[in-house]
Amino acid sequence: MGSRIMGQFGTILKEAWSKTLPVAKFLCFLHVTGTYGCQVSHSYGPSMLPTLGSTNYLIYETISTRCDNIRPGDIVIVRSVENPRKYTTKRLIGMEGDTVTYLVDPKESDKCETVVIPKGHIWVQGDNIYDSNDSRKFGPVPYGLLIGKAFWKIWPPEGFGSLGKN
């Protein structure tokens, strides 16, 4: 009697395993794709006007940041320096060793400052220099906070397509 119950239990386990294995494989695929491939990001606010509207959904990839395949001019997703739970979308202006000259406060004056980006850092700015919280305010961003490079806009529909470089 005990072996018959064990046999039925084994059959039930095999059936359960055969039904959950495809789901587990799919979840693993999503995890690997999201971690090492592409993800969707919600970008909002006036920082990237006119390139991006006030609310956008972008696809970004994370491989370029691991392979040092990003260049000034790329639109990047960066973990916020001020609130690490948030991501921000900015344009990459300079890499380590580059010299960047920027307007300190374009609303108030035309005073410029020049900075050499230290090793292991990048310089990011929003396209809207009048309303962007970026490296002009908080300085160079550690390369470790760089999440990925945005390459495709999926929302709103009228802006659907490749971001390219501006």
Where in the sequence numbering do the catalytic residues fall? 47, 90
Residue 163 token pair? 């971001």
Classify burial at 123, counting beta carbons within 10 Å of its beta carbon; exposed 0-12, middle 13-18, buried 19 or more: buried
Q: Is 73 helix (H, G, I), strand (E, B) or coil?
A: coil
Do the beta carbons of residue 93 and residue 57 sit within 8 Å?
Answer: no
Structure tokens at 160: 């659907």
Cβ neighbour number for residue 152 with a 10 Å cutoff: 16
State the Cα–Cα distance between residues 142 and 78, nearest whole angstrom: 10
* Long-range contacts of residues 153-157, Cβ cutoff 8 Å, at least 24 apart: 153/52, 153/56, 153/57, 153/58, 153/59, 154/40, 154/57, 154/58, 154/59, 155/55, 155/56, 155/57, 156/53, 156/55, 156/56
